A and B are shown apart, each in its own frame.
Chain A
């Protein structure tokens, strides 16, 4: 009962913040005013803030920025030992450095390294923390551009000239980082410090415990990193144990705070969407679809983890791999939130979940992390689902499918097709091919279906930019580091390219005015169609793979 009240409390807080935060973001993304600091930044990097970019330019800048980030972060890890706060740490070996750089730049935060030992405090501060902010900002910027494309109204069918621009990437990036992420992250950090998370510059301190053994206690700027880790749906823990570590997540209430921060921006973005397209009801139906998927998934996970079998029945609860401070249900809540967004932070070990429970977590990611999804990426993922739903069902009302008055014809569906294909290709081919690699089979800890799940989970998590892992897979091998880095990069940037191209395409269309003959996309029925469409498309794509992993394990 207490567990349910906790969940209800978090959802109530999110509901209360939905409107004001959504409206704030809409203002932020449409305002024509810059702050003084921003003006200085634009002048320094020579950006004309009012110059709108067509989709190609926007995409070029996203890709350039991300490529530079990857190179810089790889470099930083390679020379970290010689830099201040190095404390004698060596360079991260190249394949792991590349993996980590791609991982943080793509908002994935898959960690094949161990936070305590592998990276220095400077790398944490200048590298990982910065990417925690900007990779989140990139996601929100892309969805902002996409919404602008959907909302754009061009006057006149025959009007010459290109489509309306999608905004300016540099302005979006700067504003989102400075005026959205930074203030909320600061508040979150203070709250976490109040809860007991550490925030210091200490190196590892070795102490003698009461029973006389030696213990090394790490230090670091943990609370601030932690705050943006969850707020930006990043998920890369300061320590290896991630949010199960008491320095990262000290108390029961900070655990709930982290869940709230994970869901905060993604769940408010549909409001922003509704406002920016000039029809708030559209935001409600998107949010509704997200909520249905979230609650159904949460219920399934809680059910799977509390329906006790075997040893857990004897113990009275499934406690393997969980923090006793949080318990089974709160852990399931965290696990649902982290896999239905692109966060991947964990306060419990997903590989310790029951076969079916682990399967639900994997399914959450396979849905494309759309309920509510990663910051920005969740909403554009859900909007692509909306377009797909419109396409499949729209014909059934006897009209060319259209979403928000924009027709979904061959060029549009071609781009949606590209978006939809990338991640399944990465997940299925990555898993299938990797099982044929001898080194991977040796890296798998467990035999049978659970072993298959470890690899399937790794490629699912990487391709969907989640970052959580099914422990047991020794992922720090050159092959896995590079293969997963490739999955992360493809799973992030190819969909972004298709989304921006689609935005450009839609921006050039004059929207048809809604009539009673138009497919209403703001009603519960359509939210239901979106849910069904997401479930069926994902289910059909992955059922055979899931059957051999989680289903074979869970039904045995």
Chain B
């Protein structure tokens, strides 16, 4: 935070003094009105005490506005930068006849198709309908590494304001100008149109009640004091009222909310509403995709088990051969295992010069390599066994046991078989086992899921926080169970289809749980929309992003855990400062009540436990403390109170101790110290 930001916030703080703006924080409006009344009193009957009071009440309001302005200012700088990047974009619109015309980006409508070439900025949000390109999305993510966007599949979405680096693509525009992702982003970081969240509204109501209660107490005190022959001036009653009403939390409430959103933006997460952030704090069930979230995206070969009497080397060689052309990470890990783990030499190029590769497909569930003298196939156990049988192989009796042992431990078993092609067999019938003889099953490759580092601790932490984790995976139940156990998640959903996810969310919600999930594909969209907190990956499809209520620009699915923590921190900060604010009042009573009535009832001097110098200095000190505590707490409001995940009991005791007990004690010390200074001022001592 630099001095220019402070200066800008100070200016904004003064602008916010307009009562029409102040009405949004009624507690502070009362202080402002009290300040005006005090000033009138001071002008009518001038005294150091009266002018001092008016000045400090004025500062109390300014400090409150300053807190809000400071919080808003942090977002505004970011918004300005974003706006600059979007200036005067032009688009090349593809006309119905295929012709291209250049139009301003602001004139694009949903359904238009535009052409974007390398080096050009994408004029609006949309889906790639033709072509593939690398795109620099650093304008929104801050991440400079380019990403690939292509038509078809789950990587079609492009965002206006990002730059195409290579190739050219055609994009179907999916959002109206003014409501693009970039527009929303600017709006969000600016805090414009910020709606109050439910908890904020509830807290506002509660603060209003406290204000009314204290107003009643002060209003009723006037006739009581008169009856008791100790009438009080309006000045003193106003000072008492301002000290009692919850100005501290009233002043900081909106700053806390804005700063909470800001913390998310800093983590490159865009929340479409503050409500979603609050809901994140309440989440009790977390759905996590296994791949990419719990495990690193790819499985790795960790073992090759020979079968049918062959040597380990034979099996490894077959595995190596079968994966030569397999460019998937799994395939490459098999070659790597064979070469570095088991010490096989790389297969010389001329050994597979005449090879034909058949890539893995979902339909066949196997891949193959055909050499002149042998065909090697690799794939799911059931498919390979069927193939090998047809090629005349005998299935080794231990195969089943090995495969299920691998599954039970959370691995995936790939079975390798080979056969000799019969002369004259139809080379086009690529995988057909009928064209082979002497089939045999060579071995089993174990593919293992690798947990992301730190996930086990994370899940333990989540459990302490009372959040149930459910792993979603397409694996079979056995494998899923093993991985779930290893990672320490509470539950899993195996062989999950998108509609299963939706059903699971509904079920959890009906039992009263708040559900969070992440997703990126179009078929995740219904579940993302149904979840209380849906976090879409920025790399995902437009449909997923629209359905979710948060988007992670870094596309890191584990970030949902951080979001939960930010949500909790936001609520804790509000609760802590509310408690602190209320607890403060006790000390203020001990300052002001004896000051008011000590003259009429000397016995009440016993309540002056702080030993404040004079009635005027006591009241002035309480008012000054009340104003300064706002300033003192601004950093805490903007930063949020520290949150370490633990059980609710522990959190409660800790925060009660710091903010409850601390709130009781701190003002006694603060007021006393201020009084020591104030009592030196002539006219107050």
Can you list 17 residue pairs at the A/B interface with Cβ under 8 Å? A157-B509, A397-B652, A398-B569, A398-B571, A435-B227, A513-B284, A515-B468, A516-B465, A516-B648, A517-B284, A539-B586, A540-B586, A544-B240, A545-B217, A545-B221, A556-B601, A556-B603
| B-contacting 9-mer, from A62-70, A90-98, A282-290, A416-424 | A416-424
Taking a contact as CB atoms under 8 Å apart, the answer to whether B278 and A400 are in contact is: yes
Taking a contact as CB atoms under 8 Å apart, the answer to whether B206 and A513 are in contact is: no
**What A residues does B603 contact at CB under 8 A?**
551-552, 554-556
Taking a contact as CB atoms under 8 Å apart, the answer to whether A431 and B244 are in contact is: no
User: Across the two chains, which residue of chain A brings its CB closest to B568?
Assistant: A398
Q: Which 4 A-B pairs have the closest CB atoms?
A: A517-B466, A395-B575, A398-B568, A515-B466
Residue A414 interfacial (CB < 8 Å): yes
Taking a contact as CB atoms under 8 Å apart, the answer to whether B597 and A413 are in contact is: no
| B-contacting 9-mer, from A185-193, A328-336, A386-394 | A386-394
Taking a contact as CB atoms under 8 Å apart, the answer to whether B572 and A547 are in contact is: no
Q: How far is the CA of A481 from the CA of B118 in the complex (A)?
A: 89
Number of chain A residues whose Cβ lies closer than 8 Å to a Cβ of chain B: 69
Residue B336 interfacial (CB < 8 Å): no
Q: How far is the CA of A156 from the CA of B508 in the complex (A)?
A: 10
Cβ of A457 to closest chain B Cβ, rounded Å: 13
- A540 and B244 in contact, given A392-B575, A396-B652, A421-B212 (Cβ under 8 angstroms): yes
Q: A431-B224, A517-B467 are in contact. List 4 more A-B contacts (CB 8 A).
A: A157-B510, A452-B224, A544-B593, A548-B597
User: Across the two chains, which residue of chain A brings its CB closest to B225?
Assistant: A548
Q: How far is the CA of A398 from the CA of B643 in the complex (A)?
A: 9
Q: How far is the CA of A512 from the CA of B217 in the complex (A)?
A: 38
| A-contacting 9-mer, from B158-166, B546-554, B653-661, B676-684 | B653-661
Taking a contact as CB atoms under 8 Å apart, the answer to whether B575 and A552 are in contact is: no
Residue B396 interfacial (CB < 8 Å): no
Which of the residues B219, B466, B568, B586 comes within 8 Å of A428, measured between beta carbons? B219
- A518 and B648 in contact, given A395-B199, A396-B572 (Cβ under 8 angstroms): yes
Interface mask (A498-521 → B, CB under 8 Å = 1, otherwise 0): 000000000000111101111110
User: Across the two chains, which residue of chain B brings its CB closest to A555?
Assistant: B603
**What A residues does B205 contact at CB under 8 A?**
410, 413-414, 417
Residue B542 interfacial (CB < 8 Å): no
Taking a contact as CB atoms under 8 Å apart, the answer to whether B213 and A452 are in contact is: no
Taking a contact as CB atoms under 8 Å apart, the answer to whether B648 and A548 are in contact is: no
Taking a contact as CB atoms under 8 Å apart, the answer to whether B593 and A547 are in contact is: yes
Q: Which of A82-141 contact B (CB under 8 A)?
A: none
- A545 and B224 in contact, given A529-B656, A555-B601, A555-B603 (Cβ under 8 angstroms): yes
Q: How far is the CA of A298 from the CA of B589 in the complex (A)?
A: 25
Which of the residues B220, B647, B651 comes within 8 Å of A396, measured between beta carbons? B651
Q: How far is the CA of A525 from the CA of B649 in the complex (A)?
A: 8
Cβ of B16 to closest chain A Cβ, rounded Å: 25
User: Across the two chains, which residue of chain B brings its CB closest to A545?
Assistant: B224
Residue B48 interfacial (CB < 8 Å): no
Cβ of B595 to closest chain A Cβ, rounded Å: 11
Residue A425 interfacial (CB < 8 Å): yes
Taking a contact as CB atoms under 8 Å apart, the answer to whether B572 and A397 are in contact is: yes
Number of chain B residues whose Cβ lies closer than 8 Å to a Cβ of chain A: 79
**What B residues does A428 contact at CB under 8 A?**
216-217, 219-220
User: Across the two chains, which residue of chain A brings its CB closest to B601?
Assistant: A552
**What A residues does B54 contact at CB under 8 A?**
none
Residue B567 interfacial (CB < 8 Å): yes
Taking a contact as CB atoms under 8 Å apart, the answer to whether B208 and A540 are in contact is: no
**What B residues does A315 contact at CB under 8 A?**
none
| A-contacting 9-mer, from B27-35, B149-157, B577-585 | B577-585
**What A residues does B561 contact at CB under 8 A?**
none
Taking a contact as CB atoms under 8 Å apart, the answer to whether B217 and A516 are in contact is: no
**What A residues does B219 contact at CB under 8 A?**
428-429, 432
Residue B347 interfacial (CB < 8 Å): no
Q: How far is the CA of A393 from the CA of B206 in the complex (A)?
A: 13
Taking a contact as CB atoms under 8 Å apart, the answer to whether A399 and B281 are in contact is: yes
Which of the residues B214, B510, B572, B649 comes within 8 Å of A398, measured between beta carbons? B572
**What B residues does A518 contact at CB under 8 A?**
466, 648
Q: How far is the CA of A519 from the CA of B464 in the complex (A)?
A: 13
Taking a contact as CB atoms under 8 Å apart, the answer to whether B659 and A396 are in contact is: yes
**What A residues does B220 contact at CB under 8 A?**
428-429, 431-432, 544-545
Taking a contact as CB atoms under 8 Å apart, the answer to whether A555 and B606 are in contact is: yes
Q: How far is the CA of A223 from the CA of B622 in the complex (A)?
A: 56
Taking a contact as CB atoms under 8 Å apart, the answer to whether B513 and A513 are in contact is: yes
**What B residues does A539 contact at CB under 8 A?**
586
Which of the residues B511, B647, B656 comes within 8 Å of A393, measured between beta carbons? B656
**What B residues does A554 contact at CB under 8 A?**
603
Residue B514 interfacial (CB < 8 Å): yes
Cβ of B557 to closest chain A Cβ, rounded Å: 21
Q: How far is the CA of A517 from the CA of B284 in the complex (A)?
A: 8
Q: How far is the CA of A547 from the CA of B624 in the complex (A)?
A: 24
Which of the residues B198, B208, B463, B510 comes within 8 Å of A409, measured between beta carbons? B198
Which of the residues B202, B227, B655 comes within 8 Å of A408, measured between beta carbons? B202
Taking a contact as CB atoms under 8 Å apart, the answer to whether A395 and B578 are in contact is: yes
Cβ of A541 to closest chain B Cβ, rounded Å: 5
The residue in A397, A519, A552 that gathers the most chain B C-beta atoms within 10 A of its C-beta is A397
Which of the residues B221, B510, B656 comes within 8 Å of A156, measured between beta carbons? B510
Which of the residues A393, A400, A431, A517 comes within 8 Å of B579, measured between beta carbons? A393
Q: How far is the CA of A510 from the CA of B506 in the complex (A)?
A: 13
**What A residues does B653 contact at CB under 8 A?**
525
- A516 and B586 in contact, given A392-B575, A395-B199, A413-B206 (Cβ under 8 angstroms): no
Taking a contact as CB atoms under 8 Å apart, the answer to whether A399 and B208 are in contact is: no
Interface mask (B193-226 → A, CB under 8 Å = 1, otherwise 0): 0000011011101101100111011111111111
Residue A160 interfacial (CB < 8 Å): no
Interface mask (A167-189 → B, CB under 8 Å = 1, otherwise 0): 00000000000000000000000
The residue in B205, B282, B643 that gathers the most chain A C-beta atoms within 10 A of its C-beta is B205
**What A residues does B228 contact at CB under 8 A?**
448-449, 452, 548, 552
User: Across the two chains, which residue of chain A brings its CB closest to B199?
Assistant: A400
Interface mask (B61-78 → A, CB under 8 Å = 1, otherwise 0): 000000000000000000
Cβ of B597 to closest chain A Cβ, rounded Å: 6
Taking a contact as CB atoms under 8 Å apart, the answer to whether A409 and B216 are in contact is: no
**What A residues does B202 contact at CB under 8 A?**
391, 401, 408-410, 412-413
Taking a contact as CB atoms under 8 Å apart, the answer to whether B216 and A424 are in contact is: yes
Residue A24 interfacial (CB < 8 Å): no
User: Across the two chains, which residue of chain B brings its CB closest to A444?
Assistant: B227
Q: How far is the CA of A542 from the CA of B224 in the complex (A)?
A: 12
Taking a contact as CB atoms under 8 Å apart, the answer to whether B593 and A512 are in contact is: no
Interface mask (A520-556 → B, CB under 8 Å = 1, otherwise 0): 1001010001001000100111111101100110111
Which of the residues A393, A425, A510, A551 comes within 8 Å of B512, measured between beta carbons? A510
Residue A436 interfacial (CB < 8 Å): yes
Taking a contact as CB atoms under 8 Å apart, the answer to whether A520 and B467 are in contact is: no
Cβ of B660 to closest chain A Cβ, rounded Å: 8
Cβ of A469 to closest chain B Cβ, rounded Å: 19
Taking a contact as CB atoms under 8 Å apart, the answer to whether B214 and A400 are in contact is: no
Residue A195 interfacial (CB < 8 Å): no
Residue B96 interfacial (CB < 8 Å): no
**What A residues does B647 contact at CB under 8 A?**
516-517
Cβ of A553 to closest chain B Cβ, rounded Å: 8
Interface mask (A455-494 → B, CB under 8 Å = 1, otherwise 0): 0100000000000000000000000000000000000000
Q: How far is the CA of A532 from the CA of B652 in the complex (A)?
A: 14
Residue A205 interfacial (CB < 8 Å): no
**What A residues does B278 contact at CB under 8 A?**
400
Q: How far is the CA of A405 from the CA of B282 in the complex (A)?
A: 12
